[in-house]
Each structure stands twice: as structure tokens, then as C-alpha cells.
Structure 1
Amino acid sequence: MTFWVLILSIALLIAAFLSYSLLRGRRDAEPAAAYDLRVYREQLVGVDRDLARGVIGEADAERVRTEISRRILAADAQMNKKTSEVGPSRVLSLIVIGGLALILVGGAAFMYQRLGTVGLPDMPLQARIELAEDVRENRPSQAVVEEMTPAPPPRQLDESYTNLLGQLRETVAARPDDLQGQMLLAQHETNAGNFRAGYAAQQRVIELSGDAATADAYADLAEMMILAANGYVSPEAEQALSHALDRDPNHGPARYYSGQMLAQIGRPDIAYRVWIETLRDAPAGAPWAEAIRAQLDDLAWRAGVFNAPETVPVPGQSGPSQEDVAAAADLTPEERQEMIQGMVNQLSDRLATEGGTPEEWARLIAALGVLGQAQRAIDIRDEAVNVFAGNTAALQLIDAAALQAGIAQ
């Protein structure tokens, strides 16, 4: 209640100051005719001075006095005719004041109801940091989130690929200590959308690798867990990311998901710095860099950064020429959307007829997600999975692009 009294009092005080200015209006302003009268009287005095110094003759002085006297009479008549006050009428002023008070007081209450939290105590910075740490320590585990998250529907796979996956499962079950077999199983279970089975196999890969487990192995484990939890970074996934960064502090995917975790627990300020540094170090065409760019504006707003760069340049990444930028600036939103759609269609046609690099496939999937063409993005993703089956690095790019496009399963 004290908060509402304070807020309404401030709004009323502002309205009172503005109302006072409106009521005063121009009532204290001097009429233009009064100013004219002073000027004309000074001119009469000036004529007498000029006559005394011999600058003008008596006849000229009389003629000028007559003209000035005529203007004085006209200005005096104009002042006598002016009976209404200068400025808006009192009724109009009162209407404006009432509307102004309603907008200030009612608008403030409405916006706070929509954006604020009634009854929430003050949250100084230290309290927010402590709250974020509490959330980090007590957030749900991977198993709890998976229980609450329904398993995604199985992907439509080619019959031959399904048969090969079944054979791989049988082989690995018979040879659980086969490192290469576990690596293949983790990769293909993930490609098929079976993320839980994928990270279970990846955990076995790390167990068999022991101290030789690489940063990529831990980052892959974390990514599979995050995909299985529908984007949530669990404590178990965070631990895997920590192991990956211990082995390679500049590991791009691990840094990307670490920033995502920080944003989820309520530390967008640190997440923003992590993502900016990750962008600066990202190679050209890296899908995690594109994922960061797609979310950077929202994260900057949450972090309280109002001068966030629109993009962070990536070494070696080609972009539109100055002529292209100038031409796009002159287009209407519909024409610009049509131009982007045309560029996406050209890339799609070229990949379908000539093939392309994993980065180009990932770029196409991400672009379709931005355009809102989810089903088409899914079809391209499935096609890319078949094209690059067996290529771990390429499939990681495809999965990251699918995550960016919002079609990860």
C-alpha cells in the first residue's frame, strides 16, 4: 500500500506542475500592441532629437510625427478592442489538465500492473546475485526435467538407416566396452532424435576414454543433455560444459551453452559478456555464432545493455556490399522480405542440385527458422542429416542450426 501511495503521489505532483504551466498559459505575456506603442513613442522622441540636431527639417519632422501618431492611435485602438485574455480558455485548460492527470496516474498504474510485480520487495544487486546463485544450486536435475518433458516424436528415417541403427544397437549391446562403437551409437542416436539414448552412449564414451576424453566429447555430452531437456541446461549438463572448458577454454559450443545457462538462472549480465567474447573468437560460419546473434538483442535488453552492437564481425565471413546495403535500405518491408526469400531459395536450389558445405546447409536451416518456415527447415534438416551421415563435425553444425531455428527434437 505504501508503494502505491508513493507512486500516485509522484504522478499527481508531476500533473500539478504541468497543470500550473497550462493554467498560466500566455496570460502573463505582454500584448503585441503594447510593445508597438513603446516603439512608436521612442520613435517620436527620436524625431525631436533629430530635429534639434538639424538632421531633418521642420516639415519632414512634422510629417513623420503625423505618421507615427497615426500608428499610435491604431495600436491603442487594438488594445482597447482586446477584451479576452491571451491563451486558451479556462474550460479548455481544465479539460486538458483532467486528461493529463488521467494519463499520468492511470497510465502509471496500468503499466505497473502489466510490467511490475505488486508486493515484490526491493531487489538490490547483491540480493539478485544471491538469488541467482540459489537458483543455480537448487534448479531441477536432468532426470527431473526429462520426466516433465515429453519425449519428442521419432524422426522419419529411411528404412535402410533405421535397419543400420538397429544393427548398431545390437552390436554395441554385445560389446559395451567398444569405444568406437559407443561413439557411433551416440552420434547416430542423436541424429535420429533419440537424445536420451545419445547422451547415455556419450557418457559411456567418456567413461571408456578416461583422462583422454576431449573437450569435444564433454561438449557433445552437454549438448545431447540440453536437447533432451528441450533447451534447459541442467546441473549435469553444466558439469559437462565445465569439463569441456577446463580442457579448452575457447571451445565455442561449450561457451555458447554456458552463456545460455547463465541467462536461465538470472545472470544475463555475465551471459552477455560470455556471448560477446565467444562471437569475437568464432570462426566464419560457426552455427553457435549464428545462434548467439539471433538471441543477442534480447539478452542485451535483459542485461541492461542499451548500446549492444548489431553484430560482431567474424573474420573471413563475407557479407553484402555497400551497394547491396544501400539498395536494401530503400526497399519496403515486403520487398525486403521478398528479397531475403529469394536469396534463401537460391541457396536451397543450389544445395539440392550441386550440394554444398555443412556450413551452407546449417545457414539455410537457420535462415528458414528466421523466416518462420519451420516445416521446410525440418525437411532440409532431415535431408542434411542423410547427406552427412557419419560426419560427426557436420552433424554437430546441423544440430546447432536446428536448435537456432527452433526445430530441435
Structure 2
Amino acid sequence: MFWIVCAALTGVVAMAIAAPLLRRQGPGAEPTAAYDLRVYRDQLREVERDLERGVIDLADAERLRVEIGRKVLAADRALERSGSTLRATGGWAALAVLAVLLGGAFLIYQRIGQPERPDAPIAQRIAQAQELYDSRPSQAEAEADAPQRPRPEADADYAALIERLREAVKKNPNDPRGLELLAEHEERLGNVIAAKDAQRRLVALRGDDVSADELARLAGLTIEAAGGIITSEGEDAVARALARDARNPQARFMVGLLHLQNGRPDRAFPIWAGLLAEGPESAPWIAAIRGSIGDLAWFAGHPDYTPPESAAALPGPDADTMSAAADMTPEEREQMIEGMVKGLETRLANQGGTPEEWARLISSLPMIGQKDHAADVLGEARKVFASDPAALELIEAAAQQAGLE
């Protein structure tokens, strides 16, 4: 049934495109110049009738005859040049191009599409995603199949220093600073597996004192060593990082990536949308999120989602204001910032604004000592964007960043 509908729609569109191309073609078709010539001759007869009725005088009639006569001669010459078949060759050539495009589209779909894949209800898709998740390769298998990364050429002095560092870590394996440096420089040399192993030993050495950032770094190296695949070992490192700090942005980014790799864009979207709303724009994961969030929103069932503008695109103080702020006392600078925040609040109250602007106001008010008022603005924003789930996600992310419940 699907193919019948597609074929019918394609045929209708092809006919709509072809009809103007073939219209008035063939030996009996009237050229445009012949139509123009008939119109000009009718105009000459109209001039004679106006002259007989006294609508125009003899001088005007003569002027009109000369002007229309020039047009008649030009149309007659065009008729002689064009002959009796116009646009036939061009029309058929256009039809040939149309046929090539339709045939090419069909062949390309047959090659890279999935014409035999049946539609699947949401429950089946979730089951397939779970099957994909359960069938992930092990870390060792993923590392063995990972493509070889190009390694930067290290100069002799730097290579000698790294070799000395390796020897020092071997002699003193419980030195956290040595392991930290080894993981950093092995990664810099492109030895990701060695960097991962050094970071894993560092995490084990830290024990209960390990930080969320160190665990997130281990997760990143584990994923990179596996060629980008988040194996169960990488997932475990991510989970441990989030157990230390549930708001760790790098670990949350990797959770979203895990859901994407296993066919759950509905779970990945709110995580990445929240990270994009929180920023900062300089964070290494923001560029990856911004480049794919539009498609991700569509697959997740949020086609109306509008990503927040980058920090550079949001209105803020200009160069003159920033220059003047440098010469202000701390009290004057606080007054200036408060005035800007209040100006934004007034504009949103009177004219409305984007979810990004509301989020910025919510996160700015606590910075000027008005956290309680920020909670009031949060309640108002929730009412304004009650019917927009994507906007509410941005608002809630700003509220969490501002420390609001």
C-alpha cells in the first residue's frame, strides 16, 4: 500500500511538472509572436474606430499608427525566425531530465535505503533498542576492532621525557601525580589504551576520595579506546561519575550518547537539551550537541523544539558599556548589573521573550541577591511556557543552575 501511494503521488507531481513543458507544442501550436501580431492588428483597428468616433484627433491617430506599426514589424520578424515549432525540443529535453531524476532517485533509494524494512510500533522499537543495548561488544572486543588513530610525531626530547615518566611510574605505582601525568601525556601521544589504563589505576588509588571529574575522564578515555562505543565498562565509569556528582556535565553528555547509540533518542534528547541550555558555549560537548540537537529533537518527538541561541547571539552589554564598567566602583558596577537585569525583566513582562531570555533572567536574579524573586519569575515562566515542553526544559535547567527547587 505504501508503494502504491508513493507511486501515485510521484505520478501526480510528474504530470504537474510535465504539463507546462508540453503545452502548445507540435506542428499546430501557435507561436507567441503570432499571438502578439494578432493583438497589434486589433489595436490598429481600435485606433481607426476611435478616430471615426472623434475620441482622438488625426495627429494622435497617426502617432499611434506609427508606434503600433513598429511593434507589428518586430513581431512579424520574430515570427519568421521562430517558425512553427517552439519549445518542443526544450520541453522534451526537460522531460528527459525529469525522467532521469525520478529514475535516479529510485535507484539511489534501492541502493542506500531500506525498502523491505517494515514499519514497527513503539513497543517493538523499544525492544529492538534493548536488544541492541544487550548485544554490545565487550571493552576488549571494541578496542580490538577500533580503527587506529593517527599518532602525532613526538620529538626526541619529549619522547625521552615520557619514557622516563613511564619508568618512574613503574618504580612508584602508587604515586597519584605520576599516574595523572602519565594518563595525560599518553593521551597526548595518541596512546589512548595506555592513557585509559593509567587513569583506571589512578581512580583505584584514589578510592573513596576519587572525584567525579576523574571518573568522567576515565569514562571518556574508556569510550575513546573502544572507538567511540560505550561498552559496559565505559557505562560503569559514567555511572560512578554521576554517583559522585549527578550534575557532572561530561558524564551526562555520555549518558545521552549511550542512549543514542542504543536507539533511544527519546531519552537522549532531554539530557542534551538541558546541557545545551546550561552551557557554557565553550564546553567541548556543546558543539556536538548543537550540531545534532535539531535532528535529535525530531526523532524524539519534539519537532517544534528551538535550540537556545549561543551566548554570543543573546543581547548583552556592548563594548562601550563594558569599557565604562572597568572604571566603576564595585557599588556602581553592581548597580549597572542590577539595572540590566531589571531592564530584561521589564521587557519580558511588557513584551514577552524567548525561553532563553527567561532562562537567563532566572539564572541572573540570584547573582544580584534576589533568589526569592527568581523563584517567582520561575513560576511565571512555567505558566507562560506550560504548553511548550522543550521551552520548559530550558527553564528548569536554568532553575537548577540557579539553585532553585
What is the identity percentage for the equivalent residue pairs of Structure 1 and Structure 2? 24
Counterpart of 1:18? 17
Q: CA deviation at 1:32?
A: 1.7
Structure 1: how far apart are the matches of 2:196 and 2:78? Answer: 91
Q: CA deviation at 1:267?
A: 4.0
Aligned 1:281-300 pairs, distance under 5 A: 281-282=278-279, 289-293=283-287, 296-298=290-292, 300=294
Structure 1: how far apart are the matches of 2:62 and 2:146? Answer: 98
The normalised TM-score by structure 2 is 0.54
Q: CA deviation at 1:35?
A: 2.5
Contact 1:215 1:245 in 2 (8 A): yes
Counterpart of 2:232? 235
Contact 2:47 2:65 in 1 (8 A): no
Gaps of 5+ in 2: 314-318, 320-405
Moved more, 19-28 or 68-77: 68-77
Counterpart of 2:253? 256
Structure 1: how far apart are the matches of 2:19 and 2:148? Answer: 64
Counterpart of 1:190? 183
Q: CA deviation at 1:272?
A: 5.4
2:94 aligned with 1:96: yes
Letter in 1 for 2:40: D
Counterpart of 2:129? 132
Structure 1: how far apart are the matches of 2:89 and 2:147? Answer: 64
* Structure 2 counterpart SS, 1:31: helix
Counterpart of 2:336? none
Which of these residues, 93, 98, 122, is aligned with residue 119 of structure 2?
122
2:107 aligned with 1:110: yes
Query: 1:3/1:162 Cα in 2 relative to 1: closer, same or farther (>3 Å)?
Result: same
Structure 1: how far apart are the matches of 2:60 and 2:312? Answer: 79
Structure 2: how far apart are the matches of 1:150 and 1:43? Answer: 84
Query: 1:37/1:245 Cα in 2 relative to 1: closer, same or farther (>3 Å)?
Result: same
Structure 2: how far apart are the matches of 1:151 and 1:108? Answer: 36
Gaps of 5+ in 1: 173-180, 316-320, 322-409
Contact 1:190 1:198 in 2 (8 A): yes
Structure 1: how far apart are the matches of 2:222 and 2:116? Answer: 37
Counterpart of 1:313? 311
* Structure 1 counterpart SS, 2:114: coil
Q: CA deviation at 1:284?
A: 7.5
Query: 1:96/1:222 Cα in 2 relative to 1: closer, same or farther (>3 Å)?
Result: closer
Structure 1: how far apart are the matches of 2:63 and 2:197? Answer: 104
Aligned 1:52-71 pairs, distance under 5 A: 60-61=57-58
Structure 2: how far apart are the matches of 1:70 and 1:200? Answer: 96
Structure 2: how far apart are the matches of 1:223 and 1:74? Answer: 80
Structure 1: how far apart are the matches of 2:289 and 2:248? Answer: 19
Aligned 1:193-232 pairs, distance under 5 A: 193=191, 194-198=194-198, 200-202=200-202, 204-205=204-205, 208-209=207-208, 214-232=211-229
Structure 1: how far apart are the matches of 2:287 and 2:40? Answer: 65
Structure 1: how far apart are the matches of 2:177 and 2:148? Answer: 22
Q: CA deviation at 1:165?
A: 0.9
Q: CA deviation at 1:273?
A: 4.9
Contact 1:218 1:243 in 2 (8 A): yes
Q: CA deviation at 1:133?
A: 3.6
Structure 2: how far apart are the matches of 1:49 and 1:293? Answer: 79
Instruction: Give the root-mean-square deviation of aligned CA atoms.
Output: 4.7
Structure 1: how far apart are the matches of 2:72 and 2:310? Answer: 70
2:163 aligned with 1:166: no
Structure 1: how far apart are the matches of 2:64 and 2:220? Answer: 91
Counterpart of 1:145? 142
Q: CA deviation at 1:222?
A: 2.0
Contact 1:293 1:311 in 2 (8 A): no
1:152-187 CA distance string (max 9 Å, x none) = 899945243222111122xx4xxxxxxxx5x45753
Structure 2: how far apart are the matches of 1:250 and 1:64? Answer: 87
* Structure 2 counterpart SS, 1:198: helix
Structure 2: how far apart are the matches of 1:107 and 1:291? Answer: 38
Q: CA deviation at 1:292?
A: 3.6
Contact 1:262 1:270 in 2 (8 A): yes
Q: CA deviation at 1:195?
A: 3.8
2:271 aligned with 1:245: no
